[in-house]
């Protein structure tokens, strides 16, 4: 069937004084129902802006200047704002990095969950019961009592579980999770990720998971898109990606992992940084940092090349049809 979410050639412009930057510059991907798509990249590459754009939550200085977003076939960018407010927190649930800043410190957790439920539940639903069920579903012990507690009475991991409960209040078809575990301790991260996976499976939701962490991708994603400087430069199934990352940037991400275990560990930023987006790129955006760059890379932006189920935006793959296995020790 058709994908749950289809993002096509999405473009975002943000005004900066007299100038503008393009943090999202022609991004396309799709997410099937019941599947998790991970958008992977360093900070500043446009991942969060992509998520904000498709929920139509861009800052006032920003606007979508091209492309389309379809949720279950419906044109999200064409919806009137009132309808979009129902979609947000309804068919699209959202979780962000910092649970502390998303929760209201002077309202009980129960009141906040019930507020979300009231916006989206049909009349007749007993909100307190429903809220209790949600806290239970996200693994918070003694939920009936905990509903009366304030956010400060919860640990970081428990607060993030509360955020997940609030995001689930509208029974979303799509969950957007932007670095949902980055602010948490490592052991808690794994628990919260496992919870997200369990809930996503049980409810058959699609999930857009934004992360800079290869370990997170390994744990939760079905498919992956690697983002760099406003563009997706590689996409494919997670298994193919881990067996043979294709783009030189992807390979640098793996090579930057400490030790040989590519699956468990957190990502260290590879040397160099994402270029500023306040300029027009002529060639490949990664050329300055790419150890494989050659003359053509500075002159011509690479197009997409397909290798089986994977796709990569890099001149090296012109005319190549079979990915070579990737051995991290020999990375570039
Ligand atoms: Fe490197 Fe050239 Fe490929 Fe860009 S197109 S990633 S610079 S080899
Ligand atoms: Mg971000």
Report the C-alpha gap between 305 and 290 in whole angstroms: 18
- What pLDDT score does 323 carry? 60
Report the C-alpha gap between 240 and 275 in whole angstroms: 28
Residue 243 neighbours by CB under 8 Å, 6+ apart: 325, 326
Q: What per-residue string of b and e applies to 24-56 under the rule 16 or more CB within 10 Å gives b?
A: bbebbbbbeeebbbbbbbbebbbbbbbbbbbbb
Pairing of strands 62-71, 74-75: antiparallel
Q: Which atom of ligand 1 is nearest to the CA of 284?
A: 4
Report the C-alpha gap between 256 and 249 in whole angstroms: 10
Which residue has the least CA distance to atom 7 on ligand 1?
A: 287
- What pLDDT score does 220 carry? 95
Q: Where are the beta strands (DSSP E) in 131-278?
A: 174-178, 206-211, 223-228, 231-237
- What pLDDT score does 102 carry? 84
Q: Which atom of ligand 1 is nearest to the CA of 291?
A: 1
Measured in whole angstroms, the distance separating CA 72 from the mean position of its chain's CA atoms is 18
For residue 229 and ligand 1, the question of a CB distance below 6 A is answered with no
- What pLDDT score does 259 carry? 57
Q: Separation of 304 CA from ligand 1 center, angstroms?
A: 12
pLDDT of the chain, 332 residues: tens digit per residue: 789 999 999 999 999 888 889 999 999 999 999 999 999 999 889 999 999 999 999 999 999 999 999 999 999 999 999 999 999 989 999 998 877 778 999 999 999 999 999 988 888 889 999 999 999 999 999 999 999 999 999 999 999 999 999 999 999 999 999 999 998 998 899 999 999 999 999 999 999 999 999 999 999 999 999 999 999 999 999 999 999 999 999 999 998 877 544 444 444 456 666 677 667 788 999 999 999 999 999 999 999 999 888 999 999 998 877 665 544 434 44
- What pLDDT score does 131 carry? 96
Neighbouring C-beta atoms of residue 183, cutoff 10 Å: 18
Q: Separation of 123 CA from ligand 2 center, angstroms?
A: 37
Neighbouring C-beta atoms of residue 326, cutoff 10 Å: 18
Token pair recorded at residue 94: 């959202």
Residue 41 in contact with residue 227, Cβ under 8 Å?
A: yes
Q: How many residues does the chain have?
A: 332
From 227, 297, 311, the mutation candidate for ligand 1 (largest count of ligand atoms within 8 A of CB) is: 297
- What pLDDT score does 153 carry? 96
Report the C-alpha gap between 88 and 181 in whole angstroms: 21
Which single residue is written with the structure tokens 């900070």?
A: 43
Class for the domain spanning 5-91+170-330: alpha beta
Domain edges within the chain: 5-91+170-330, 92-169
Which residue has the least CA distance to atom 3 on ligand 1?
A: 314
- What pLDDT score does 143 carry? 97
For residue 245 and ligand 1, the question of a CB distance below 6 A is answered with no
Q: Separation of 192 CA from ligand 1 center, angstroms?
A: 36
Q: Which atom of ligand 1 is nearest to the CA of 297?
A: 2
From 246, 247, 316, the mutation candidate for ligand 1 (largest count of ligand atoms within 8 A of CB) is: 316
For residue 316 and ligand 1, the question of a CB distance below 6 A is answered with yes
Backbone phi, psi, residue 68, to 5°: -145, 155
Could you tell me the pTM of the whole model? 0.91
Report the C-alpha gap between 146 and 157 in whole angstroms: 14
For residue 248 and ligand 1, the question of a CB distance below 6 A is answered with yes
Residue 36 in contact with residue 220, Cβ under 8 Å?
A: yes
- What pLDDT score does 123 carry? 83
Backbone phi, psi, residue 285, to 5°: -70, -20
For residue 29 and ligand 1, the question of a CB distance below 6 A is answered with no
Backbone phi, psi, residue 246, to 5°: -100, -45
Element (H, E) at 20: strand 19-31
Q: What per-residue string of b and e applies to 126-157 under the rule 16 or more CB within 10 Å gives b?
A: ebeeebbebbebbbbeebeebbebbbeebebb
Q: What is the DSSP letter of 153?
A: G
Which residue has the least CA distance to atom 8 on ligand 1?
A: 293
């Amino acid at each position: 069937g058709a994908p749950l979410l289809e993002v096509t050639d999405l473009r975002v412009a943000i005004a900066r004084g007299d100038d503008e930057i393009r943090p999202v510059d022609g991004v396309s991907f799709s997410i099937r129902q019941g599947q998790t798509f991970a958008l992977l990249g360093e900070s500043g590459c446009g991942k969060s802006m992509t998520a904000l754009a498709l929920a139509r939550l861009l800052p006032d200085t920003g606007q979508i200047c091209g492309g389309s977003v379809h949720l279950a076939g419906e044109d999200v960018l064409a919806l009137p704002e009132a309808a979009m407010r129902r979609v947000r927190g309804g068919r699209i649930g959202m979780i962000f990095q910092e649970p502390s800043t998303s929760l209201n410190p002077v309202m009980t957790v129960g009141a906040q969950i019930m507020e979300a439920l009231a916006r989206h539940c049909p009349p007749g639903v007993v909100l307190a019961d429903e809220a209790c069920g949600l806290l239970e579903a996200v693994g918070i012990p003694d939920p009936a009592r905990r509903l009366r507690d304030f956010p400060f009475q919860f640990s970081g991991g428990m607060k993030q579980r509360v955020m997940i409960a609030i995001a689930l209040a509208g029974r979303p078809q799509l969950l957007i999770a932007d670095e949902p575990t980055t602010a948490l301790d490592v052991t808690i991260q794994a628990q919260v990720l496992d919870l997200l996976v369990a809930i996503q499976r049980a409810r058959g939701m699609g999930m857009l998971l934004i992360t800079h962490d290869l370990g997170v991708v390994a744990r939760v994603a079905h498919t992956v898109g690697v983002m760099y400087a406003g563009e997706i430069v590689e996409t494919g199934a997670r298994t193919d990606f881990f067996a043979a990352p294709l783009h030189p940037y992807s390979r640098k991400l793996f090579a930057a992992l400490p030790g040989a275990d590519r699956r468990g560990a957190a990502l260290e930023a590879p040397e160099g940084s994402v270029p500023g987006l306040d300029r027009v790129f002529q060639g490949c955006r990664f050329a300055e940092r790419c150890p494989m760059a050659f003359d053509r890379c500075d002159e011509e932006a690479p197009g997409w090349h397909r290798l089986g189920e994977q796709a990569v935006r890099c001149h090296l793959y012109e005319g190549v049809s079979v990915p070579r296995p990737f051995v991290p020790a020999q990375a570039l």
